Amino acid sequence: MRIDILTIFPQMFEGIFQHSILKRAISKDLASIFLHDIRDYSTNKHRRVDDYAFGHGAGMVMMIQPIADLIEKLKSERNYDEVIYLTPDGIPFKQKITNRLSTLTNIILLCGHYKGIDERLREHFITMELSIGDYVLSGGELAAAVVTDSIVRLIPGVLGDETSALSDSFQDGLLSPPVYTRPAVYKGWEVPRILLSGDEKKIDEWLTEKAIERTRSRRPDLLEEME
């Protein structure tokens, strides 16, 4: 899978892609991530990428020309399955969406700034708009990193244990149950005895019960969604 990220701060991503699962996916060639500096495409002599909003005073808007030229160049080189704009007024990013995105071949992630991008970019180029939660970030970069991470870890061969992505929180619509590792007793704090019993059926039942309990107390909205 190929992911092209369009940003005015490409350096923000460097550390993130050089560690852990993302690094492994890239080095195994299961994912290729290309960073593009929107400023490089500005025809303005000061490399400007923003301008004043028409009609109302507050804030700057990312202008159409550099982003349109960059997207058109990329689209002339290959077909893209989705051109995604990261924005707090996008649709809520959920596991179902990332599951689907992880099956695609080429996607573009566009990181917004300031008061947003010129609406004509949304009308003519953007195929999907995503928000990662109900709070405002100073730019789309952190959101693009979140979306990239959640997609790439689902690509077959990226996670060592093929079953582990399926047991993630949200994959079955429930939060994950608690987990424990050695020692079985620490400062008198004991691991639930059932987990040491070796009775797989009982353990599975217990884990499911705990997952439901945790979901009911923290995210009752998820249980409603399942009905």
Question: Binding residues for ligand 6GU, per CB under 6 A?
Answer: 86-88, 90, 112, 130-133, 135-137, 139-140, 143
In terms of CB distance, is 60 or 207 closer to ligand 6GU?
60
Q: What is the CA radius of gyration of the chain?
A: 22
| Nearest distance in Å: CB 58, ligand 6GU | 16
Residues 6+ apart with CB under 8 A from 199: none
Which backbone phi and psi does 135 adopt, to 5 degrees? -160, 165
With left for phi above 0 and alpha for psi between -120 and 50, is residue 93 left, alpha or beta?
beta
Tokens found for residue 32: 């290729």
In terms of CB distance, is 89 or 224 closer to ligand 6GU?
89
| Nearest distance in Å: CB 138, ligand 6GU | 7
3-class secondary structure, 92:
strand
| Nearest distance in Å: CB 143, ligand 6GU | 3
| Nearest distance in Å: CB 36, ligand 6GU | 18
Contact 129, 97 (CB under 8 A): no
Nearest 5°: the CA angle 17, 166, 83 is 50
The residue to which tokens 């593009």 are assigned: 36
| Nearest distance in Å: CB 63, ligand 6GU | 17
In terms of CB distance, is 17 or 93 closer to ligand 6GU?
93
In terms of CB distance, is 87 or 102 closer to ligand 6GU?
87
In terms of CB distance, is 63 or 132 closer to ligand 6GU?
132
Question: Quick count: other Cβ atoms within 10 Å of Cβ 58?
Answer: 7
